[in-house]
Chain A
Amino acid sequence: MTLFYGTELSSRLMLGTAQYPSPEILADAVRRAGAGVVTVSLRREAAGTRAGQAFWALIRELDVPVLPNTAGCHTVREAVTTAQMAREVFGTDWIKLEVIGESDTLQPDMFALVEAARILTEDGFRVFPYMTEDLVGAERLLRAGCEVLMPWGAPIGSGKGLNNLFGLRALRAHFPDVPMVVDAGIGVPSHAAQAMELGYDAVLINTAVAKAGNPAEMARAFAMAVEAGRMAYIADPMEERDMAVPSTPVIGQAVL
């Protein structure tokens, strides 16, 4: 059982709610994914515009735990203020902490991330930090009070899969007891299965589902891949070998 800040999720698939063709398709995708968590955000809303309120009504109807993010924040102050606003609006102390340091790759700014994580943890937040697979950064985040880590697979929205397998393996091995989620960069279900086979506790997907030709079907495919990958991890995969080893027994083989 994996606990995220003391909570067991109904599924190891976390799903983003952005970029779907329509609210109905988003709702279908969340249901078909059986998502354990959905991520949400905050944006400016003018008086009389009800888009935000309608979205919130939809999310409440889906009855899935929400993980608000601080997407788009580039400084500690922006991220901290956004997190505080999100806590009030969404009524949860969970926050997916994003502090972006580089705009082409949307790479997390690990220095600002650690600082923001420390401030938010002291303020009672349960921080899910969106991070690179940096071991030293991970250590600092844990010291800052994070009890979950969320390394990227590849840049957000790129669909490139797990860019640094070695790094993700090393991170998993260094902190075997810390719940970890691969967030960002996953493009197809096999990428998600791979993350789960490495021993990651969950994956967070958005673009790969929302931008699929059939988001609801893709959501279901991801759910199956996550389950298969987790089952495979528990079943303890074989060691990879460089040379062939016959699988059919050679004893008793005829000499012809």
Chain B
Amino acid sequence: MRILVNGEHHDVTAASLAALLDELGYDATARVATAVDGSFVAAGRRATHPLHDGAQVEILAPMQGG
């Protein structure tokens, strides 16, 4: 399955958002927020949130802001 993560293409086998984070190597304790196809997916729903071919995933972390 080919999906877009933070604007870059990835070929992955993960079926859920939680599995994707794991497959990509995100630390389980990392403070990140996720969205799929423009909609927020809360941390508690990642395990049950399915991914589809062509899904657009955003994984965001804290950063400096004004």
A contacts, CB < 8 Å to B: 16-20, 26, 39-49, 51-53, 55-56, 59, 68-69, 71, 77-78, 81-82, 84-86, 88-90, 156-157, 204, 206-207
Q: Decide if B66 touches A71 in the complex (CB within 8 Å).
A: yes
Instruction: State in angstroms the CA–CA spacing of A190 and B59 once bound together.
Output: 40
Contact of B58 among A44, A56, A88 (CB under 8 A): A44
Given contacts A19-B64, A41-B63, A45-B6, 7 further A-B contacts (CB under 8 A): A17-B66, A45-B61, A48-B25, A55-B64, A85-B58, A85-B60, A156-B66
Q: Decide if A51 touches B25 in the complex (CB within 8 Å).
A: no
Name the B residues within 8 Å of A204 (CB-CB).
66
Instruction: Name the distance in Å between A220's Cβ and chain B's nearest Cβ.
Output: 19
Q: Decide if A45 touches B66 in the complex (CB within 8 Å).
A: no
Q: Decide if B66 touches A84 in the complex (CB within 8 Å).
A: no
Closest chain A residue to B65 by CB distance?
A41
Name the B residues within 8 Å of A47 (CB-CB).
21, 24-27
Most buried by B among A41, A45, A55: A45
Q: Decide if B33 touches A206 in the complex (CB within 8 Å).
A: no
Interface size class of B (residues with CB under 8 A): 20 to 34
Q: Decide if B65 touches A44 in the complex (CB within 8 Å).
A: no
User: Does B1 interact with chain A (Cβ within 8 Å)?
Assistant: no
Instruction: State in angstroms the CA–CA spacing of A183 and B14 once bound together.
Output: 43
Contact of A69 among B27, B59, B60, B65 (CB under 8 A): B65
Q: Decide if A56 touches B62 in the complex (CB within 8 Å).
A: yes
Name the A residues within 8 Å of B40 (CB-CB).
81, 84-85, 88
User: Does B42 interact with chain A (Cβ within 8 Å)?
Assistant: yes
Instruction: State in angstroms the CA–CA spacing of A17 and B60 once bound together.
Output: 17
Name the A residues within 8 Å of B12 (CB-CB).
none
Instruction: State in angstroms the CA–CA spacing of A206 and B65 once bound together.
Output: 9
Q: Decide if B31 touches A81 in the complex (CB within 8 Å).
A: no
Instruction: Name the distance in Å between B13's Cβ and chain A's nearest Cβ.
Output: 16
